[in-house]
Amino acid sequence: MVPVPHLSVTLARLEVLIQEQGIARSHLLDPAELAARTALPEDTVRTLLQGGEPPEDTVNDRVRARVKTLADAHLRRSGRRMSDLAGSISRSLGVSTLWARKVCSGEKVPSVELLHGLVGFFGVEGGEAFFTAPASEALDRALVPVLAALQPDADEPGGSGDLRTLALTGYDDVRGIALRQARDLPPERWNVLTATLQALLKLDDEDR
């Protein structure tokens, strides 16, 4: 199966539904809120929402940064100190307090076993992929439930259908609505629509 450019398709469909339903875009696509949910930098989220490319990184970079982001957020919410958090992780996951502290401060990359434990400790969704997925995939994971909430009949007969299936099949309803709404999109939204079309056309060419 040809891979689908997930985030660009998700954003394009969200834009259509926002237009159709008259929803304030800032209520659904708030960069600060999405950054908190994904443990991504807010600037990266803004770039992705505008159809841009995030800074290049490695899997280790992602893991260190996202664990540190979650740890920092935990400390702000709880008012605890890093030593307290490291102690809790040490007791819960069976690692040394020093190692837990270095992982939470972004100095060290956790082992696979510790990363698995951190999923449960911080209560994140998506398993280890929450920490390891590329930024575009991480944001897409956060937006798919938002999309599903806006189209609750997607799996019912006569409903709008699964987004990725529609993208692969070129579903006429999606294309027609998008094109009708395109005239009213502000310039920055054209970037999202253009990126989506270019990605889909490129995939089509590669599949021939």
Residue at token pair 């944001």 = 139
Per-residue model confidence as pLDDT tens digits over 149-189: 887 654 444 444 444 444 433 334 444 445 445 545 555 55
Going by C-alpha positions, the residue among 155, 159, 151, 128 that lies closest to residue 39 is: 128
Domain ranges of the chain: 6-54+134-207, 59-132
Residues 6+ apart with CB under 8 A from 105: 68, 71, 82
* Architecture label for domain 59-132: Orthogonal Bundle (1.10)
User: Would you say 164 and 9 are in contact if contact means Cβ atoms under 8 Å apart?
Assistant: yes
pTM above 0.75, yes or no: no
Residue at token pair 């056309």 = 201
Structure tokens at 175: 């294309």
Question: What type of residue is 32?
Answer: A
Per-residue pLDDT, 160: 44
C-alpha 58/C-alpha 36 separation (Å) is 20
Q: DSSP code of 160?
A: -
% residues pLDDT > 90 (the chain): 57
